[in-house]
Amino acid sequence: MTSMQQMFDFGTSRVLMSGGSGVLGRTLVRALLAHGAEVVILSRTPAQTMQHFGTDLGRERLTCLAADLAQPDSLTRAVAEALAGGPITHLVNGAGGNRPNATTGTQAFADIPLAAMHEVMDVNVFSAIQLSQAVVPHFAARGSGCVLNISSISTTRPLTRVVSYSVAKAGLDAYTRWLATHLAREYAPEIRVNALAPGFFLTEQNRFLLLEADQTTLTERGRQILSHTPMGRFGTPEDLVGAFLWLLSPAAAFVTGQIITVDGGFSAYSGV
């Protein structure tokens, strides 16, 4: 029997990841490096992204390639460059985000530009689809591989105002389940596809929505969120690491087509 320690040894793994430059993404990259993986990040600003990792443990196994997730040709070139450096064993579609003009925060629903909604769909859904299309044939040739999509709890309980983001991540969940079934039946049973759905985590993107200017006092939205979170706090990036590594590891060898939620109980709470 393989020991649990061996299952979480990524020393023979090479992970291609989008969305590795944000607060959550950087923590997940560091976890992979700490467990021996080689990691290739796709970023629009490679030099700036690499600066985030300074002299971190395992930085010599980290590469950052230039890629614009909204540009299909850019992604195709970046994946080809990544594959030229060696086989890819895992794909993490971690890119995501919203656009202020794709919400009802400052405008009516009828006034949301479709172009803004398309942008949100592109970064959250279509970049994951295109990266999967580029990498999956290499998984199929090897007979194994792992795709992990980063979703959101907003898929099952759509959040007020963020219509485009909720719709996009719901699409990503449906795509996760479809791809898991398709790859296992049509390519190889050992190609797994899952998604990790974080709850409310403090990031650069949402900090202004959850905290006042003093960075301590909760906004009204922040208070509402915590009042519906049984564990009574926002998540920290480290809270994602355990589930993240598990889904990528042989410990989850019989897990595919699943959306694993890490949200402090938010999605389980009915409000009463």
Q: What is the 3-state secondary structure (H, E, C) of 120-187?
A: HHHHHHHHHHHHHHHHHHHHHHHCCEEEEEECCHHHCCCCCCCHHHHHHHHHHHHHHHHHHHHHHHHC
> Which is it for the CA torsion 77, 81, 84, 89, positive or negative?
negative
Segments in the chain forming alpha helices (H): 4-7, 23-34, 46-51, 72-84, 114-121, 127-142, 163-186, 207-210, 220-227, 241-248
Q: Which of 165, 175, 187, 269 is catalytic?
A: 165
165 catalytically annotated: yes
Buried b (16+ CB within 10 A) or exposed e, 160-196: ebbbbbbbbbbbbbebbbebbeebbeebbeebbbbbb
| Residues with catalytic roles | 165
